[in-house]
Structure 1
Amino acid sequence: MTFVDIKDLVQIVFWIFASSITFLTYRNINKSLLSPVNTEYQKRVLENLSVLSNKLFSELKSGTQDYRGHSLQMQPIWKQMQSLYIEDKDSTRENGIDILDINITSEFLFSQNLADEVRYDPFIPNEIREAVTTYLDCRTKVSFDSTVSSLHDTLINIDKIIEANGEVPSSYFEEDINIFLENTYLDYMDNNGFSDEIIEEMNKNIMTQILEYIDSFNPRFNKN
């Protein structure tokens, strides 16, 4: 090997080494620049997941505004139903009540609103977003259908009372209809896969999934 060959070889090795150093330096600089962005993104993800978990938990905790046992709020529905029935009794008995004229349950609003929040939240991981929206979309539909069905059954019950007594006692619209409407609604929810027990289980499953995701960022549990 001549001196020129050795010189050329040294130059080739030098440029390879220099290129490697340049690439590694660029990668480290780029990583340093992106690190604050990644940290802020992860912070937002963890914050939004914590909010989501708290909303799911609030449905299971008695004493909270969203507790399912207190959140059906059937009273506005049957009060509105009473008004429609009294104002146009014959038409109501013949044609039923248009669901668009009736308030929907708070459970419907809770499920629908939370599903939309999660669906369009860029800081919710895809696998959790999919689990939440699939569950809540189905629950929203069943809640709507259960409201319609319970209203229909209530009208039938009113007709039976009229056939037996000639009129509907005023007390029926004060207490009985609320109990009948709520029980019928809950029966439809139960029969379509959303009993209290199932809802509690589904909420806890998603909360566990969220907890596992958050734990993956905890140095105590992350060995990598």
Structure 2
Amino acid sequence: MDLESVKNLTQIIFWCGALILAYLTYRNARKTLLSPVNTEYQKRVFDSLTSISERLFSELKIGSDEHWIKQRPMKEVLDEICREWDRDRSSILEHGLELVVWPAAKDWCIFNSLADEVRYEIFLPERLRNKIICYLEYRAESAKFAHDYAVIKYIESINENRSYDQISIDNFIDIENYYIDGMGKMNLSFEQITQRNQEILCEITKYVRSFDPTA
């Protein structure tokens, strides 16, 4: 190899090294400049996941106002039945209790509202968003079924046993148990709800652990 070739090879190596150094410098600078943006995005994602987790799992937290044991999803309907009984006792004793319309299921409204909140939360990954929405919408649908089922079964029981003297806002155990039965028919007993919630929590945890906005 002559002197000219050595000179050319040296220049090639020099410029290749310079290009590599420039690229590495650019990449490092880019990460540094974008770091605040990535950090803010990551924070927004985590805030969204935290908010949804708290709302979704509050019903399982002892001490929470939303804990399942404190809930009375059939309270408004029972109030309406009691008012109907007070208004027309003689007719009910003769012809039986009949409730043509009744208040909508509170849980149906709550879970549909939650589903809408998740649907328009732009900082959630799509796969996780869709899974949570699917679950919340099924919870809403199941709540409506259980609610209507409880009303029908409670009125049937009252009429069959002619236990009209038991109609009272304080005697809520029967109608609430019918609601629980209805949820069970939709494969959403308390144990099943707990399991479904835990599955979503695992998905959220898995996503958080793997989250790397600079990757």
- Verify the 8 A CA contact 1:46 1:214 in the aligned structure 2: yes
User: How much has 1:145 moved relative to structure 2?
Assistant: 1.4
Aligned pairs (5 A) from 1:90-169: 93=98, 96-98=99-101, 101-105=102-106, 107-161=107-161, 164=162, 168-169=164-165
User: How much has 1:158 moved relative to structure 2?
Assistant: 2.9
- Verify the 8 A CA contact 1:143 1:189 in the aligned structure 2: yes
User: How much has 1:217 moved relative to structure 2?
Assistant: 4.3
Q: Deviations over 1:113-172 (max 9, x none)?
A: 2222111111112221122111111111011111112112222223224xx47xx21x42
- Verify the 8 A CA contact 1:111 1:140 in the aligned structure 2: yes
CA distance in 2 between counterparts of 1:36 and 1:117 reads 27
Aligned pairs (5 A) from 1:35-50: 35-50=35-50
Say whether residues 1:202 and 2:203 are aligned partners.
no
Fraction of identical pairs, as percent: 31
User: How much has 1:36 moved relative to structure 2?
Assistant: 1.8
Structure 2 residue matching 1:173: 3-state secondary structure? coil
CA distance in 2 between counterparts of 1:80 and 1:17 reads 82
User: How much has 1:199 moved relative to structure 2?
Assistant: 0.2
The gaps in structure 2 that reach 5 residues or longer are: 1-11
- Verify the 8 A CA contact 1:59 1:67 in the aligned structure 2: yes
CA spacing shift, 1:14–1:84, aligned 2, 3 Å = farther
- Verify the 8 A CA contact 2:111 2:137 in the aligned structure 1: yes
Deviates more, 1:61-70 or 1:108-117: 108-117
Please point out which of 167, 170, 187 is paired with 1:172: 167
CA spacing shift, 1:34–1:84, aligned 2, 3 Å = farther
Structure 2 residue matching 1:204: 3-state secondary structure? helix
- Verify the 8 A CA contact 2:112 2:140 in the aligned structure 1: yes
CA distance in 1 between counterparts of 2:152 and 2:76 reads 16
Q: How many residues align?
A: 207
Q: In the alignment, which residue of structure 2 is the partner of 1:76?
A: 76
Question: Which amino acid in structure 1 is aligned with residue 51 of structure 2?
Answer: V
Question: Which amino acid in structure 1 is aligned with residue 181 of structure 2?
Answer: D
CA distance in 2 between counterparts of 1:191 and 1:123 reads 35
The gaps in structure 1 that reach 5 residues or longer are: 1-11, 219-223
Q: Provide the aligned C-alpha RMSD in A.
A: 3.6
User: How much has 1:73 moved relative to structure 2?
Assistant: 3.6
- Verify the 8 A CA contact 1:128 1:209 in the aligned structure 2: yes
Q: Deviations over 1:38-83 (max 9, x none)?
A: 2101111012212222223321112211111212342222102322
Q: TM-score, normalised by structure 1?
A: 0.73
CA distance in 1 between counterparts of 2:157 and 2:140 reads 26
CA distance in 2 between counterparts of 1:73 and 1:137 reads 17
